[in-house]
Amino acid sequence: MRESKLSGVLFLLLLMVVWELAAQRQWLNPLIVPPLSRIFASFGSLVAAGDIPLQILASLKRAAIGYVLAAAVFIPLGILMGLFDGCRRALDVIIEMLRPIPPPVVIPVALLFFGLEDEMKIFVIFFSCAWPILLNTLEGVRSIERLLLYTARTFGLSHARIIWQVVLPASSPQIMTGLRISLPITLILVVISEMVGSADGIGYFILDAQRRFKVAQMYAGMLALAIVGYGLNLLFNLAHRTFLAWHWGMLREQQR
């Protein structure tokens, strides 16, 4: 295994060297594909000057608000719908009507309501995260092992306490899955909404760089975005390991 990791890294380095050479020697159009060195240089200076971090922060702020709002609304809703079948059936049709709408297509609506403000992006993210969070939460609650509930009842727990002490912890892995899926969705939609209608943010930054033919900057922005995506993933895993330590251990065991 280590052997292939090494060859993988070598291959990556090889690609990078080829890129650099090809761009320097003008085999590739440097206006479209600048040398890696220039991209890294641009990245470095933009980060140092604070330009990129500022844009990323703006994007992350909107992303965070939209994400947290979606969680705060749709996790409880999912739990309610999971516990009370009537509630689920009542909302089922509405949800099935809204689900097929590809999230970006909601952007013009958001533009109509909120213009280019932060609220526009927050709304779009809120809408996009809704279904993964809601449906996974719902599924998590509905698929709780019956024996767990029987066990709680045989020990005399009241219904309210069963929800708090059994339903919530038992469905938390699936709720986590919904939150995890929503993470890349959030990032994608914040970028898209910034490309369509914004005056700042990393999405806007990348598109703007392209429009002004500042190509190295454009790639630098993309690099920053990839790093942010990777970082968010790490953060989420950390949260998973912290809050659901018991589940994390189970997963590791199963993967062997």
Partner 1 sequence: MPILEVENLSKSYRQLRGENTPAIGNVTCRVEAGEFVSFVGPSGCGKTTLLMSIAGLLEPSSGRVVVKGKEVKGPPPNLVLVFQEYNKSLFAWRTVLSNVRFGLEARGDRSPRAEAKARELLDRVGLKGFEKHYPWELSGGMQQRVAIARALAYEPEVLLMDEPFGSLDALTRLELEDTLLGVWAELRTTILFITHDIEEAIYLSDRIWVLSRRPAQIIQELSIDFPRPRDQLTTRAHAGFMTLRNEIYRQIGHAV
Partner 2 sequence: MNRSSSFNWLGWLIFAGLLSMWEYGARANPKLQFYIPPVSEILVALFNLSASGQVAGHLLATVSRFVQGYAIAALLAVSLGVLLGYFRSAYGILEIVIEFLRPMPSVAIIPVAVLTLGIGDGMIVAVTVYASVWPILVNTIDGVKHIEPILIDTARTFGLRRWAILWRIVVPGAAPYIVTGLRISLSIALILVTTAEMIAGSRGLGFFILDQERSFNSSNMYAGIIIVAALGYGLNRLFLTLEGNVLRWRRGMIAQQPV
Site for partner 2 contains 8 (CB under 8 A): yes
Site for partner 2 contains 27 (CB under 8 A): no
What is the rounded CA–CA span in Å between residue 152 and residue 145?
12
Please name the amino acid found at residue 194. E
Site for partner 1 contains 151 (CB under 8 A): yes
User: Mask: binding to partner 2, 182-211, rule CB under 8 A, as x and -?
Assistant: --x--xx--xx--xx------x--xx-xx-
Dihedral sign for Cα 238, 254, 143, 177, please.
Answer: positive
71 is written with which tokens? 């969680």
Burial class (CB in 10 A: 0-12, 13-18, 19+), 134: buried
User: Which of 183, 184, 208 has its CA nearest to residue 195?
Assistant: 208
Site for partner 1 contains 155 (CB under 8 A): yes
Site for partner 1 contains 172 (CB under 8 A): yes
DSSP 147-188: HHHHHHHHTT--HHHHIIIIIHHHHHHHHHHHHHHHHHHHHH
User: What distance lies between CA 47 and its chain's CA centroid?
Assistant: 23
What is the rounded CA–CA span in Å between residue 22 and residue 166?
60
Stretch of 8-16, 108-116, 148-156, 179-187 lying at the interface with partner 1 (CB under 8 A)? 148-156
Site for partner 2 contains 3 (CB under 8 A): yes
Q: How far is the CB of 224 from partner 1 (least distance, A)?
A: 37
Site for partner 2 contains 135 (CB under 8 A): yes
Q: Which CB, 10 or 57, lies closer to partner 2? A: 10
Q: Which of 84, 161, 212, 237 binds partner 1 (CB under 8 A)?
A: 161
Q: Look at residue 235 and give the partner it binds from partner 2, partner 1, none, a contact being a CB closer than 5 to 8 Å depending on partner kind.
A: none
User: What distance lies between CA 251 and its chain's CA centroid?
Assistant: 21
What is the rounded CA–CA span in Å between residue 148 and residue 47?
52
The answer to whether 64 touches 52, Cβ cutoff 8 Å, is no
Site for partner 1 contains 137 (CB under 8 A): no
What is the rounded CA–CA span in Å between residue 206 and residue 52?
10
Please name the amino acid found at residue 78. G
Stretch of 65-73, 96-104, 153-161, 171-179 lying at the interface with partner 2 (CB under 8 A)? 96-104
Q: Look at residue 156 and give the partner it binds from partner 1, partner 2, none, a contact being a CB closer than 5 to 8 Å depending on partner kind.
A: partner 1
Q: How far is the CB of 7 from partner 1 (least distance, A)?
A: 36
For partner 1, the binding residues (CB under 8 A) are: 145, 147-148, 150-157, 161, 166, 169-170, 172, 244, 246-247, 249-250, 253
For partner 2, the binding residues (CB under 8 A) are: 3-5, 7-9, 11-12, 15, 32, 86, 89-98, 100-109, 111-113, 135, 138, 142, 184, 187-188, 191-192, 195-196, 203, 206-207, 209-210, 215, 218-219, 221-222, 225-227, 229-230, 233
